[in-house]
A and B are shown apart, each in its own frame.
Chain A
């Protein structure tokens, strides 16, 4: 089992460009999450999907959109990248919502110039 995979691992964008971060899990988990991590800020939840077909905003959703494509895949889209979105992005999954531990992907390091 690969667990949680993310692509790409690194990305550099210019201000105003768009991109989609991909995430997939092979653990048959119901819930999936997108976080960003900045120095000194800890992990901040962007969006989550409690189950296939549902998505909800987290703590910092502005400037992002998500799609739960199917049970396995959960993508994060930046429509018009801004320097403030320079960060490390982690995808995570859990069996059932917040009661269970989450398993993280290796992260995407995004720089917006």
Chain B
């Protein structure tokens, strides 16, 4: 089983739609969780950290479910500029590295 798994998509949604991505992780010892955004031919950029209590940043909401070992990202009122690949990232306690999922591609159309 992969350490971090994501649906590759693409998710095709119209502007204004709400879309959600899930990501599952295999190691219950994981402690830190992040969502990154990567535009075509660009570097990954941190979108938001994911906290145990869930957190929101504008139109973006991240949730963590430790019991089921998944994190989610909800995007409300999608914009054309949200079109990108979203990477789920997980760390295990005591480890010096992050594990990246292969990403979920989102395409927002007019």
Contact = CB atoms under 8 A, between A and B. Distances in A.
Contact of B43 (A98, A99, A104): A104
Nearest to A43: B100
Given A43-B44, A90-B44, A107-B43, A98 B102 contact: no
B98 interface: yes
Interface residues of B, number: 20
Contact of B96 (A41, A50, A90, A104): A50
A43 B87 CA distance: 10
A53 to B, nearest CB: 14
Contact of B34 (A33, A42, A101): A101
Interface string B13-35: 00000000000000000011010
Given A101-B46, A106-B43, A41 B102 contact: yes
A79 interface: no
Interface string A84-113: 000000100000011111111111000000
B96 A31 contact: yes
Nearest to B44: A104
B42 interface: yes
A61 interface: no
Contacts of A40: 102
B66 interface: no
A107 B44 CA distance: 10
A46 B91 CA distance: 17
A58 B92 CA distance: 15
A89 B95 CA distance: 22
A85 B100 CA distance: 20
Contact of B97 (A58, A90, A105, A107): A58
A49 to B, nearest CB: 9
Given A56-B96, A99-B91, A101-B49, A42 B43 contact: no
Interface of B: 31-32, 34, 42-46, 49, 87, 91-92, 95-98, 100-103
Interface of A: 31, 33, 40-43, 45, 48, 50, 56, 58, 90, 97-107
